[in-house]
């Protein structure tokens, strides 16, 4: 599918776009999947994800890995980058941020399968890892390990 018309409705790609003030304001965009008849995995990795603690407004940091098996739609990567960046000034607990990302992508894309692994760096001496998945992995689709080790500190 080389038809450029599939990109006609994108509003952020190819131009200057400001970082949204919040995840609710962020516009996630999708494009038709040119390989819709083939089951394959897509991975996005955001090793420098940030959000704010909702009580102290101190920054929290995570390594986010998003894996999905697309159906008819692909998420447009610049819009995803801006969406993830919009959490930078957003106050929410780790669990809320992590699961919200997964649910928003499911709502947009209706993927065949999706997994979010959110590996948060320690707050108060305790790392919090949050995992969201829509169901079992699909047979015949290679889903590699997310490759993020559990937090070991300085040991």
Q: Which residues are catalytic?
A: 53, 60
94 is in an annotated binding site: yes
51 is in an annotated binding site: no
SS3 content of the chain, % helix, strand, coil (to 5): 20, 30, 50
| Exposure of 15 in the CB half-sphere (CA atoms within 13 A) | 5
Q: How far apart are CA 86 and CA 100, in angstroms?
A: 13
Q: How far apart are CA 88 and CA 60, in angstroms?
A: 9
116 is in an annotated binding site: no
Annotated binding site: 75-77, 94-95
Annotated binding site for substrate: 75-77, 94-95
């Amino acid at each position: 599918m080389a038809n450029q018309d599939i990109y006609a409705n994108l509003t952020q790609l190819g131009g200057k776009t400001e970082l949204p003030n919040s995840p609710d304001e962020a516009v996630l965009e999708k494009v038709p999947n040119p390989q819709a008849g083939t089951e394959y995995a897509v991975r996005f990795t955001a090793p420098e994800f940030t959000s704010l603690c909702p009580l102290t407004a101190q920054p929290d940091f995570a390594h986010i890995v998003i894996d999905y098996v697309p159906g008819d739609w692909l998420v447009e990567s610049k819009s995803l980058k801006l969406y993830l960046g919009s959490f930078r000034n957003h106050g929410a607990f780790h669990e809320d941020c992590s699961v919200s990302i997964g649910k928003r992508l499911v709502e947009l894309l209706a993927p065949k399968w999706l997994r979010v692994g959110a590996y948060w760096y320690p707050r108060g001496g305790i790392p919090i890892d949050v995992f969201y998945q829509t169901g079992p992995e699909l047979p015949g689709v290679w889903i590699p390990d997310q490759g993020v080790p559990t937090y070991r500190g300085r040991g």
